């Protein structure tokens, strides 16, 4: 397939050449914060994960699009990443589940892509220099470079309020009732909760009074995009809920829960993005292979009266917290596993046990 040329420029002036793909009208330039994802499959789940709002995803696996797309794999109603970077974009959707090919899907949702890029070189650059803002597009190099110099990152950004649901909704039929605060909740997360509980999902803008008015047995804090330090109002709501209901948080929900418990967060150099990150359960010694997607982490030195339950074996980052005093626990990784693996789905059952007993049984 013949494609028009495109440029990718990072904020530090680095230039990469490639070909325009997806939604790529002439002159169109996409900006955002560049990160890389190491998953070998699950590109559709990644593209539709609201936690990628504001970011451009570089896929390290060289062939993307091989098995097409299907609505069953969407993690939200539409893609949320700003764009994608791939080495080779497959035009063949070789899978019985496929309803379309990836490029058609990108065009339908007006998501830009750049392919034929040396993604190995780009990934090594981001590893060495950290997540960088930048731009790419089917436009002259000087135009792309100018847009790259103006691109915004995720630091200090409240992206949650732009991805949360507009109205409450309900799922599931269970003995226990859970309210989930939607900071950018993934569909598989909703499915896992709804399989165990009667679930009410509320917008992230909800107050503590709004949550308690639903008389839940427990509260769930979802994943989401952006800088947790910019979400002081959301942290305040969680602080009010801490003494009222058992709480389980995942990813951004983990960071916000830690903040409500008095801890602080920091930005990782290039984040954790992939489905192959080893995490150790410090109580059992068990090692789980986990799916991850986050640029920020909890500062361990700021934790007081809270037990660290899990750590990342690659770099020692805090991956889980437990507080029986406050009837809460959280993990930095994604136990809903979309894309997989499924090692950590037991944590949803642990939440069930917490709600019933008022104690984290780990």
The CATH architecture one would assign to domain 160-357 is 3-Layer(aba) Sandwich (3.40)
Q: Tell me the pLDDT band of 106, cut-offs 50, 70 and 90.
A: very high
Give pLDDT tens digits for 36-55: 999 999 999 999 999 999 99
> Is the pTM value of this prediction over 0.85?
yes
Q: 288: which 2 tokens?
A: 């789980």
Q: Tell me the pLDDT band of 1, cut-offs 50, 70 and 90.
A: low
277 tagged catalytic: no
Residue 235 gets the label, from left (phi > 0), alpha (psi -120 to 50) or beta, of alpha
173 tagged catalytic: no
Give the bridge partners for 9, in sequence order.
Answer: 15, 135
> What is the pLDDT, as a whole number, of residue 338?
74
Give the bridge partners for 318, in sequence order.
Answer: 311
**Which candidate in 138, 272, 294, 334 is catalytic?**
334
Give pLDDT tens digits for 157-198: 999 999 999 999 999 988 999 999 999 999 999 999 999 999
Q: What CATH number was assigned to the domain covering residues 5-150?
A: 3.50.30.20
Q: Which sequence spans correspond to the domains of the chain?
A: 5-150, 160-357
**Which candidate in 75, 82, 103, 336 is catalytic?**
336
28 tagged catalytic: no
Give pLDDT tens digits for 64-91: 999 999 999 999 999 999 999 999 999 8
**Contact between residue 48 and residue 80 where contact means Cβ atoms under 8 Å apart:** yes
Cα angle 318, 321, 324; round to 5: 160
**Which candidate in 81, 115, 251, 328 is catalytic?**
251
């Amino acid at each position: 397939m013949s494609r028009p040329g495109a440029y990718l420029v990072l904020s530090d002036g680095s230039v990469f050449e490639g070909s325009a793909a997806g939604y790529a009208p002439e002159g169109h330039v996409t900006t955002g914060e560049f990160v890389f994802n190491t998953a070998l499959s699950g590109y559709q789940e990644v593209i539709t994960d609201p936690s990628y709002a504001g970011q451009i995803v570089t896929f390290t696996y060289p062939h993307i699009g091989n098995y097409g797309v299907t609505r069953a794999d969407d993690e939200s109603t539409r893609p949320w990443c700003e764009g994608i970077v791939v080495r080779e974009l497959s035009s063949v959707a070789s899978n019985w589940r496929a309803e379309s090919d990836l490029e058609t899907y990108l065009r339908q949702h007006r998501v830009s892509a750049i392919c034929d890029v040396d993604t190995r070189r780009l990934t090594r650059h981001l590893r060495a220099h950290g997540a960088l803002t930048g731009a790419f597009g089917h436009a002259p190099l000087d135009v792309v470079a100018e847009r790259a110099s103006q691109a915004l990152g995720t630091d200090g950004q409240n992206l949650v309020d732009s991805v949360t649901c507009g109205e409450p909704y309900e799922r599931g039929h269970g003995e226990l009732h859970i309210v989930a605060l939607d900071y950018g909740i993934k569909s598989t997360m909703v499915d896992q909760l709804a399989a165990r509980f009667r679930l009410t999902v509320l917008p992230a803008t909800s107050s503590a009074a709004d949550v308690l008015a639903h008389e839940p047995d427990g509260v769930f804090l979802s994943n989401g995009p952006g800088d947790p330090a910019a979400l002081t109002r959301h942290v305040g709501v969680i602080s009010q809920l801490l003494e009222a209901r058992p709480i389980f948080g995942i990813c951004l929900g983990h960071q916000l829960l830690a903040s409500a418990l008095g801890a602080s967060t920091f930005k990782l150099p290039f984040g954790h993005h992939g489905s192959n990150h080893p995490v150790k359960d410090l109580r059992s010694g068990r090692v789980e292979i986990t799916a991850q997607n986050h640029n920020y982490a909890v500062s361990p030195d700021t934790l007081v009266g809270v037990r660290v339950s899990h750590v990342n074996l690659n770099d020692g980052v805090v991956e889980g917290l437990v507080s029986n005093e406050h009837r809460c626990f959280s993990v930095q990784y994604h136990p809903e596993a979309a894309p997989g693996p499924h090692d950590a789905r037991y944590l949803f059952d642990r939440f069930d046990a917490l709600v019933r007993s008022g104690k984290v049984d780990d």
